[in-house]
A and B are shown apart, each in its own frame.
Chain A
Amino acid sequence: MDILFSIVLAAFCLWGFFLTGKDAFPSALGEPGDAFWPRALFVLLFLLVLVNLANDWLFQRKKREGAGQSPLLWRKTAAGFALIAGMALLMPYGGFAFVCLLFLTGYGYLLGERRILFLGVRSLVLTVLISWIFQGALGIELPLGRGPFLLISRFLGQLWPG
């Protein structure tokens, strides 16, 4: 994965180098122009990627990725990505409170809590607590959601003092 990342990074550097030059303001006399700095960084990063790749090939360093993590734990992490990404995608539609309840329950289960009733009650209490802290105490407006979720969020919003 490390080598693949290095290759992607090298391609990104080449692409970024030419892209920046295309869009940038041309440099005037005595000034570097707004492409100079990013281009210098792209060149530096490209050189470092090459050194890193050479380092890996020449000295056959042991890769850190994957080492010490079983496929089961890797699947758990991947499920974690999916839950977090899903939380962000759902939030504008489901509203903060509903998505928070789902996420706390799902992620808690992923991390090993198997007492479903306890998990549900705990998630509900934590959802109410976070919503109260942000919307009630700190006055920070959180996503309300759409359709029926909007009605639920508005109803909950009326419960917060102030």
Chain B
Amino acid sequence: MVQAFISGVETLFIPAVFLSVAGGTVLGVVLGAMPGVSASIAVVLALPVAYAMDSVTAAAFLSAVYCASITGGGITAILFRVPGTPSSAPTTLDGYPMARKGEGGKALGFSVLSSMVGGLAASLAMILFCPLISEAAQMAGPSERFALFFLSIAVLVVMDNHNFIKALMSAVLGLLIACGGRDPVTGSSRLLWGDFLPDMGRELIPIMIGLFAVGGVLGQTGKERRGNRVWQTENGGKTRILFPSFKELWAVRFSMVRASVLGILVGILPGAGATSASFLSYAIEKRLSKHPERMGTGVPEGIVAAEAANNGATGGSMVPLLALGIPGGNAVAIIMAFLLARNVEAGPGLVGEHPEYLASVFGSMALTSVLMVLAAAVVARGFAKLLLVNYNAVGPLIVMVAAAGAYGLNQDMKDVALMIGFGIGGYFLVRMGYSLAAFVLGMVIGPMWEQNFYQAYMLAEGNSERIFTRPVTVLIMAVSILILLYPLVKLSVEREKS
């Protein structure tokens, strides 16, 4: 762990990495501030820039864009009550009232400082937990790893509380799409789309670009807009960040620590991500507050709870990715797809055999946490102008950058067709209430899950009873099944009550 920490710090002294992280931070803050551009879309738009980098630098760059976009979303949430990213929605509850009271600068100060604390805590948690978890995972056999993948699907499906069955269907559909291509053992082409998608590792990138960029723009196209909205704050959005005094920070110390820890824990759960973390943290803060009636009227605790948690979740979501090969959220799944396209398989082996990835991601997240304070302070004055950019310019631009990014991967129009096909398909899935996060998780972990099943089956010489009777496997499977049963039990209890 100490070695990884030192390597991470050393990584920052490599000029290419430092510049990439700094550039990624600015890009992330600006993209995150634009309404309609989520953290996932920000990472997708940054992919073409990452093509030109080596894999380690690209991992650091994309992590920087991801973390900074979450913070960028918080700034516009405070100044204009427009959350740039969904995870910043709870920030508006107290941030905007503070801005209305003429304390916008101070609200921004609380926001970026708590983002920094959440981000730094998350990167430390990452460097602490990743080696431990990956070591434990390496000791586990394929049947235990198979059970872990099952657990990740179970957690995600239950976290997605819109429709449990549809979330499960989305995950299985994602797993089926991932089946297309080569069989991981025999290498034979399977299913009709096997010839169209011969290498899922490579083809995941245009698919992800389509799902998030094209699907996202189509989703916004069907929303009602009222022309060019005029964004109003007391001074037209030109706000200087005022950093809170030590005394003011000391007053919110418990909120900050609580939100950071909660963010990290929620981030570690697959699919939960920064949005769930910030909403949950805000709700807990309100419950624990001595004056809950003041929450939502413009108190710093509300901003701190949301911003420390969503930044904590960014680092938390990197833990299962690097240690187990299970992405903790959509943006992280895109980073994983990028690494797969470069033949870098995230998982237990990565931390042991290629510690440079953990070091660079840790270094990047720690540096981003500090740099985004500076970036936000410098850029805050221009945010009003940034928001004057209308979505009728941003939306089409996202699609064209996405198309160029998909084409640029292999100089192949097939990738653009894939991007559009999955973009339109993803739009309909979301419209019908299916879970995009579960679909993406299924697609990303599918090949590894199957490979582990195959290995477990071979080791058990075809005796499936031996696969599922190993103690750790039984434990993980039992927990997963209990998690999957939870919504059904909850539903029946609610029905009985009503």
Contacts and interface: CB of A to CB of B under 8 A. Distances in A.
A130 B461 contact: no
Contact of B424 (A16, A84, A138): A84
Interface string A6-31: 00010000001001100111000111
Contacts of A41: 172, 175-176, 179
Nearest to B210: A84
Interface of A: 1-2, 5, 9, 16, 19-20, 23-25, 29-32, 34-35, 37-38, 41-42, 44-45, 48-49, 51-52, 55, 64-65, 69-70, 73-74, 76-77, 80-81, 84-85, 87-88, 91-92, 96, 100, 103-104, 106-108, 110-113, 122, 126, 130, 134, 138-143
B183 interface: yes
A29 B461 CA distance: 8
B324 interface: no
Interface in B210-244: 214, 217-218, 221-225, 227
A44 B183 contact: no
Contacts of A77: 218, 221-222, 427
Interface of B: 48-49, 51-52, 165-166, 168-169, 172-173, 175-176, 179, 183, 185-186, 188-192, 214, 217-218, 221-225, 227, 390-393, 395-397, 399-401, 403-404, 407-408, 411, 413, 416-417, 420, 423-424, 427-428, 431-433, 450, 453-454, 457-458, 461-462
Contacts of B417: 88
B176 A30 contact: no
Contacts of B165: 48, 51-52, 55
A128 to B, nearest CB: 12
A49 B169 contact: yes
B100 to A, nearest CB: 28
Contacts of A51: 165
B36 to A, nearest CB: 11
Contact of A141 (B179, B411, B428): B411
A34 B110 CA distance: 55
A57 B487 CA distance: 19
A31 B458 contact: yes
Contact of A91 (B179, B185, B416, B454): B416
Contact of A32 (B51, B190, B192, B457): B457
B462 A29 contact: yes
Contact of B404 (A38, A44, A55, A130): A130
A48 B168 contact: yes
B408 A37 contact: no
Given A48-B165, A65-B431, A104 B225 contact: no
Contacts of A141: 408, 411
Contacts of B172: 41, 44-45, 48
A60 to B, nearest CB: 14
A100 B454 contact: no
B149 to A, nearest CB: 12
B407 A143 contact: yes
A124 B404 CA distance: 16
Contacts of B390: 111, 113
Given A34-B185, A64-B432, A80-B218, A107 B396 contact: yes
A96 B192 CA distance: 30
A81 to B, nearest CB: 6
Nearest to A51: B165
A76 B450 CA distance: 41
A73 B190 contact: no
A100 B404 CA distance: 10
A2 B432 contact: yes
Nearest to A89: B417
Contacts of B454: 31-32, 37
Nearest to A113: B392
B410 to A, nearest CB: 11
Q: A-B pairs with the 10 shortest C-beta distances?
A: A111-B392, A107-B396, A140-B408, A34-B183, A77-B222, A30-B462, A80-B221, A113-B392, A30-B461, A38-B179
Given A45-B173, A92-B413, A64 B407 contact: no
B432 A84 contact: no
A143 B190 contact: no
B190 A38 contact: yes
A104 B222 contact: no
8 contacts: A5-B432, A44-B172, A51-B165, A73-B223, A73-B224, A84-B423, A142-B408, A143-B407
Nearest to A49: B169
A64 to B, nearest CB: 5
Which residue, of B169, B175, B462, has the highest number of chain A Cβ atoms within 10 A? B169
Contacts of A2: 432-433
